[in-house]
Structure 1
Amino acid sequence: MTVIHQGHQISIVKICKFNVICTVRILRLTGIFLNCSCGLWVLLHSISVRIEDEEAHMAFTSICDFIHNFFICEECRQHFYQMCSSVSNPFNKTQDFALWLWSAHNKVNERLLKEETSMGTGDPKYPKIIWPPKQLCPACYLPLKPKNNESNQTNWNKDEVFKFLTTYYGSTLVSLITSDDTLTNKTVQHTRSEEMMAPNAVVVPVGAAVAIALASCAFGALACFWRSQQKSRKYRHLHSLKNI
């Protein structure tokens, strides 16, 4: 699937005949390449803050199954599957699931940051960071406890983190995507550092905006997979009742 925007051809998510999502790269309007897994992450976060409490665990299992069966990167699938397998108790609240996904994403970024640093493969203009940065959500950060002062651990205010995620991946993205001024030339010329340093503002990086706007086409595939899972569970349940 290719999308043309302002004269630039952007290859995004392909639903192949072999039922895999191809991790092709996105050509940003600035000429910088980013992996489309960034857009997939934004899509998953967007789903996590829009579900009801009673849908939390079904969303978790559906997303885990979706990544495990459809994402083409074998190493990525295995890492994600390991994180899913570490969950021992069902999610009963939207907040719990959204925070688990947020924590999992930060763990992935930490691991990739170490790998990119050791191998020298990271992009200095777009480094892996812990999300959200303090500039975007000061209330998300609590003072470090005395025993953690010399460590790199962050003392999170998780209630504030959830509020931030709900706004950032909810109303902020909706207004961004529907706004006529989202992808103006002035916005495209902004660097990520400028966006991150904007005081008292929640700013969506252009790369993420492009990725989520385009990667939303993958939602159809996820929705179909989710629906098929529901139908399958319903069928098995009815079949088991007949055998009683």
Structure 2
Amino acid sequence: MKKNILKILFPVMAILTISGGALAQDEVVVNNEMQQRIEFKASFKPIKNLKLSLNPELRFDESFSLDKYHIEGMAEYKVLDFMSVSAAYRFIVNPRDGKTTEYFNRYALGLEFQHKIERFKPNLLIRYTNYADDEISDKQFIRYKASVDYNIRKCKITPFAEAEAFQDLTTNSLYKMRYALGADYKIMKNNYVGVAYKLDYYLQEYTNKHIFNVSYKIKF
């Protein structure tokens, strides 16, 4: 079973990329949005196979004004060496000038497959969620994310690549694709700083979102 799963992981990113390209936007004016994110992630394992994490995040708009606050808690449990299940809750605060502050509640249930192959670490994550963007609150989604990172020999930098498809269960169609490239740098034991560029490629409207992400991760 493990070998069959691993055979799936590598081509998934290519399939997701082709899916996004097959629904490419026409030759029209496309709205390009910018967003910056700063996040901190702390995780620890209270017992064997269980990992808990807390992830506060700040999101900024194109003018680098604070747009939203996020805080997410997640529990992950390793069922098998190559498979884990997870549950997450995210609380979002949207302060608005001259208007009442908005509050959103988001949740996600996930099933994840991963296994190291020499220095590569492919990963396949399937999540059921009630969000794809902060503003959406009345739809359900299935998110399919394939990723791979590479542990460079005798180097503190770990690069990674990701592709993710967002399926709208209301319309049973793809809502958007997300592609990401980035790297984590090991500062010291269990402490990492990361940078990433993400592209949200919307399939139902002429909009792309460019996301620049800076993160700090610590493991206890």
TM-score range relative to shorter protein: under 0.3
Structure having the higher strand fraction is 2
TM, length-normalised to structure 2: 0.26
Higher relative contact order (CA 8 A, sep 6+): 1
Structure having the higher helix fraction is 1
